[in-house]
Structure 1
Amino acid sequence: MVNTFRPSDLAQALRIIADTKPTVLAGGTDLMVRHKTWSGVVPHFDRPVVLIGHLPELQGIEIRDERLFIGSAVTLAAILEHPLVPEHIKSPIAQMASPPIRNLATLGGNICNASPAGDSLPMLYALDACLHLESVRGRQTVSISEFISAPGRTCLEPDQLLTAIEIPLIKCRTHYYRKVGQRQANSISKVSFYAAADYDKQRIHWVRIALGAVAPTVVRSPAAEGLLAGLDASGLKAVIPAVINIYQGLLSPVDDVRSTQQYRREVSLRLLENYLTRELMK
């Protein structure tokens, strides 16, 4: 038997987290499976559990100062249905899991899971998302690249809670997302690729490119993005080999039950080449 807490508000939740160092559960779509034991129906947790999915302080979606704020317990389905969320943010979320799971799963949970194959992560890295952390000691804001340090590892202290995701609303002319998996839905990524850009007929203003499931954390190269900024179509064609070479040096995929490192490396570089030659500035 495990002690389970259902706080009435965020302040009470933070006090419980500080006192008990519990397992925090919002939608539970990953945690319930991870803690499942084959000997019974009920998952086994070795620590107290605190439920946060119902807390109103973690449910909002709003825009302030040209930044989108999403509560950490907002479900993926709610994000997809919300009129304030732009399409370049919805795009990867629409391909996550299946509709029933999206009704429960939260963006905060996908981030805290810190999986290299997390479907929302390339988009969040590319768009320079920041995370709001709270505890009884105070508040802290960190970039997502600072938050995730390794597969399954974050900088979240035992008494802290992720409360909101902050995404700058940059002018984005096009976005491009591809997820390579075993199935159309309910599939864990073998490789994922996200890009966003702004350009006109004459030149590229900026490009953001991020790849998932090809290294311990999401791969992004500001140096490669800098090479692309300001180029016209002919300049883009000339610099593509250099950009691909930069990303090739950053990839460190692994062999696992879903795929091989060789497959991941080859497919990710082909996705990059396809984006640069066929999608960007089309």
Structure 2
Amino acid sequence: MVKSLNPSTLKEALIMKKNNRNAIIYAGGSDLMVAKKVSHEMLFINQLNELKEIYEDEEFLTIGAASIYYDMIQNPLIPELLKQVLKDIASPAIRNVATIGGNICNASPAGDSLPALYIFDTKIVAASLDDHNQIIERIIPIENFILGIRKIDLKSDEIVTKIIIPKDKISRTTKMGYKKVGARKAQAISKLLFVAVMNVENDQVTDLRVAYGSVGITTLRRKDIESHYIGIKYKELLAKIPEIIDEYRECLHPIDDQRSTAVYRKKGCLNLLEDFLNEC
């Protein structure tokens, strides 16, 4: 029989995790319950309101790791681009139980929220207890937190408690692009995901961020390529579109699988990027 752990506070949950390091953390369970047979203790955190708070200060937007998609879609603080992404995930039933922390920690290459979180320079907050049972936190950039397929930088005594997004990464955009390509409109695992933002002021490109999902073992974002084109005139950017496409062509290495082919994915990625740049 699987042992159930049901804390009433975050600190209680961290004590239980410290004492049961193999315990599997359960929030919404929409990925977990179809992934594998559960044989370890289950640590339930979906009842902890501390992990569902969404708030902002002058610098950051903070989203509790156990926030469900439905609540995020309804919350006025959530960026419109992220809301668009969440609305395309699965079905209403899933969106009423699935959590943002679960989608991150599942670390699937096809995780729908991940490209948007990458372009917002999201950071993951992981909490644990020190030797005096006081809560301590680690803050990890999302690109360093997700290490590979189902692999994350989370210690055995830690729980992801929230994510933080710099507000300047939300506000500095004059153009947003998002596209999920799947076998059908809803309840489809992505063949590819494309998310991009650009900011143009006085005909100068002041920001450019591009991320792809479902085309590698982790979300693809190349800050080095982006930096080449920040600071140039928008007309120059238009002239350099073939150059930009060639740079991304070199770093996109999708695979063939049951959902799509590498050729289709790569062509789709480049076409979506070209359309986004031309339409800005």
TM over 0.5: yes
Aligned partner of 1:8 in structure 2 is 8
- Written as runs of structure 1 = structure 2, the 5 A alignment for 1:1-282 is 1-21=1-21, 22-35=23-36, 44-137=37-130, 138-170=136-168, 171=171, 172-200=173-201, 202-278=203-279, 280=280
- In structure 2, runs of 5+ residues without a counterpart are 131-135
Q: Does the 8 A contact of 2:215 with 2:252 survive in 1? A: yes
What is the distance in 1 between the residues matched to 2:41 and 2:256? 35
Question: Take 1:184 and 1:88, find their aligned partners in 2: how far apart are those partners?
Answer: 18
Deviation at 1:98, TM superposition (A): 1.3
| Maintained 8 Å contact 1:227/1:239 | no
Residue identity in the other structure for 1:59: K
| RMSD of aligned residue pairs (Cα, Å) | 1.2
Amino acid corresponding to residue 275 of structure 2 in structure 1? N
How far 1:194 sits from its partner (Å)? 0.3
Moved over 4 A (4+): none
Q: Secondary structure at the match of 2:240?
A: helix
Aligned amino acid, residue 140 of structure 1: R
How many pairs align?
271
8 Å contact from structure 1 (residues 88, 196) kept in 2: no
Q: 1:16 corresponds to which letter in structure 2?
A: M
Cα distance in structure 1, aligned partners of 2:69 and 2:90: 10
**Shift of residue 86 of structure 1?**
2.4
The code of the aligned residue for 2:197 comes to A
Q: Name the % identity.
A: 38
Q: Which region of structure 1 is more displaced relative to structure 2, 253-262 or 227-236?
A: 227-236
> Does the residue aligned with 1:220 lie in a helix, a strand or coil?
coil
Deviations 1:211-258 (A, max 9, x none): 111111111111221222223332012211221122112212112111
Distance 1:168 1:98 in 2: 29
Alpha-carbon separation, structure 1, partners of 2:68 and 2:181: 23
For 2:242, the aligned partner's letter is P
Contact 1:98 1:185 in 2 (8 A): yes
Q: What is the CA–CA distance in structure 1 between the aligned matches of 2:13 and 2:198, rounded to whole Å?
A: 40
For residues 126-163 of structure 1, the C-alpha deviation after alignment (integer angstroms, 9 at most, x for no partner) is 11000100011321000000000111100111111100
User: TM-score, normalised to structure 1's length?
Assistant: 0.93
Distance in 2 between residues matched to 1:247 and 1:18, nearest whole Å: 43
Work out whether residues 216 and 252 of structure 1, in 8 Å CA contact, stay in contact via their aligned partners in 2: no
TM-score between the two structures when normalised by the length of structure 2: 0.93
